[in-house]
Structure 1
Amino acid sequence: MPSTLKNWRIPIGKTRYNQTVFCNFNKVHHWKVAGATGSGKTEFLRYLVTYMCMKYSPDDVQFAIVDLKNGVSFAQFQWFPHVRGVYKTVPEAVSAIHAAHETMVERLQEVERLRAVFQPEPVYPRLIVLIDEGGELAPANAVLDEDKELRKAAMHLLSSVVRIGREPRVNIIYGTQRPDNDTLPVSIRGQMEGVFCFRTENELDSKIVLRHEGAEKLPWIPGRYLYKSPLVKYDIEVQSPYIPDKVLRRIIQPLIRCESQRTATQQSDAMCTDNQMADGDDGIGLETREKRRRWGRSE
């Protein structure tokens, strides 16, 4: 079972005075990540996933990654045992969000049943639904009516998760360029108290994200953002960490090799079983030469 004493303070970068800044998933449960194209949002999200997968076990944290850029930014992350899947299309994204919502409901039902009889409650793995380019989920971007209804369902499920997902440990990290009413309804945006706001194109976009100006004045340095949270009194200018591809390759390639070896072993076992079944007279593989000796049968 996951540890009840797990520290969920995650380092998210450094200030200009070389001070490390932390966010805490135990205290702020849902986050939005916004900013203009090329400002470093996706690289920051990749860092968050990598850091938590390296620090925590799959019994502590699990991810459902929705990458609506056809999965190109998070394709390698499917090899982490923490990752339930990388979902690349709108129907896949809706399916993943629906599964997270069902997990939340099941956990709440179990907690209610245990509390009713004064039994100790389990500590569930934290399930983080990470969405990159969430604007693609907006109903306003739908072409067909069926597609529009599908996207509305996704927003309805997300709204439910951000309202009641705290206790069952289901969290949302929502990344989009401009979280306005079209891409992120107020019912969801208002519950996401944690904000990572990268450079915006203008003052209006900054006001949409932070409710005040300032993000448009950030230097055009990829990874530079303003951090806003109920845990800090003022917005903090932070430079986010960055994981080079060669480092990510060094972390993930052993996982790919292990998976390949496991698959090869399974295939070898399956071939061995098939051969025994083919040679056997009784259908359970006991009539091969080796097994005849083992069971004391003569030829």
Structure 2
Amino acid sequence: MTNTSVGWSIPIGKTRYNKTVYHNINKIPHAKVAGATGSGKTEFLRYLVTYMCMRYSPKQLEFIIIDLKNGVSFAPFQWFPHVRGIFKTVPEAVKAVKEAYQTMVERLIEVERLRAVFRREPVYSRLIVLIDEGGELSPAFAVTEEDKEMRKTAMHYLSSIARIGREPRVNIIYGTQRPDADTLPVAIRGQLEGVFCFRTENELDSKIVLRHEGAEKLRWIPGRYLYKSPLVKHDIEIQSPYVPERVLKRLIEPLIPSNTFYDIPRDEVRFKDEQMEQGDDDIGLDNVIRIGDWGE
């Protein structure tokens, strides 16, 4: 079931010594991305999707993207042919996770039948379930009992994928601010061996993510994080890559159908460049330090 013709080492940034670091999805199929608001988690996830969609064909790679910030962070990515869908609400997220679970089960059944008669196994496309703000999916934040049961079902599916999704090539990238017991059950958290920990608010949050202090001491530079996996001896401080909006637009705009548009009356909307107030320093993710530029 392993596609030996495709390399799955993804560049995830550079160290202060200008050395590129890679994350191997074949060897570390599941990962968690954590850190405080504004630390660069979502921009890093957007980079991962962009890079992988540009490198691999839709026959090699598919995404199920769960963006529980109402889809605002990943809206343009719906046009990539690799993306099965952008799921924006808890009910949609539950259906999406169930879909990934069913894909995994169907593949396992097929492989079992083929192995029983010594037949050659197919090479499946890699299916990545990418979740941004996974804390919004937690049963701890349910409003009603029905809502709570629905969220528990999603966590049950995710737990199964985390345990047995490696061989059928169904993987999880789980993004959240603080992956504690409320937002990410231990049964899932322990299987997400790849760790991308951006700056945390305090020592406790760092211990929850990394099992030790340190992330709270990272310089407050968007995209700066500590990388941890079973394949490295110690945590590596990395500056993550970043895809500027103009580059993303150049890549995705040709994929948008010509008859797609949103007609919003000009006097009913304030555009981003009109929302800057005098005195704003214009420092944000649009100006994040590019990969390899560490600065002073």
Query: TM-score, with normalisation over the residues of structure 1?
Result: 0.85
3-state SS of paired residue (1:44):
helix
3-state SS of paired residue (1:260):
coil
User: Residue 130 in 1 paired to residue 130 in 2?
Assistant: yes
1:110 corresponds in structure 2 to 110
2:237 corresponds in structure 1 to 237
Q: Deviations over 1:66-89 (max 9, x none)?
A: 000000000000000000000000
Q: Deviations over 1:108-162 (max 9, x none)?
A: 0000000000000001000000000000000010111110000000001000000
2:14 corresponds in structure 1 to 14
User: Residue 155 in 1 paired to residue 160 in 2?
Assistant: no
Aligned length: 260
1:2 and 1:59 in contact (8 A); partners too: no
1:139 corresponds in structure 2 to 139
| C-alpha deviation, 1:202, in angstroms | 0.4
1:260 corresponds in structure 2 to 258
Task: Output the CA distance in 2 between the equivalents of 1:187 and 1:41.
Answer: 23
Task: Output the CA distance in 2 between the equivalents of 1:101 and 1:3.
Answer: 21
Task: Output the CA distance in 2 between the equivalents of 1:14 and 1:102.
Answer: 37
Moved >4 Å (runs of 4+): none
1:32 corresponds in structure 2 to 32
3-state SS of paired residue (1:148):
helix
1:98 and 1:154 in contact (8 A); partners too: yes
1:180 corresponds in structure 2 to 180
Task: Output the CA distance in 2 between the equivalents of 1:221 and 1:180.
Answer: 24
* Structure 1, unpaired ranges of 5+: 264-299
1:30 and 1:193 in contact (8 A); partners too: yes
Task: Output the CA distance in 1 between the equivalents of 2:31 and 2:234.
Answer: 17
| C-alpha deviation, 1:5, in angstroms | 1.6
1:196 and 1:226 in contact (8 A); partners too: yes
Query: TM-score, with normalisation over the residues of structure 2?
Result: 0.86
Task: Output the CA distance in 2 between the equivalents of 1:165 and 1:2.
Answer: 13
Percent identical: 78
Q: Deviations over 1:234-275 (max 9, x none)?
A: 00000000001000000000111xx337x9xxxxxxxxxxxx
1:50 corresponds in structure 2 to 50
* Structure 2, unpaired ranges of 5+: 261-296
Task: Output the CA distance in 1 between the equivalents of 2:189 and 2:181.
Answer: 9
* Structure with the higher fraction of residues in helix conformation: 1
1:121 corresponds in structure 2 to 121
3-state SS of paired residue (2:12):
strand
3-state SS of paired residue (1:181):
coil
Q: What RMSD, in angstroms, separates the aligned Cα atoms of the two structures?
A: 1.3
1:4 and 1:123 in contact (8 A); partners too: no
1:64 corresponds in structure 2 to 64
Higher relative contact order (CA 8 A, sep 6+): 2
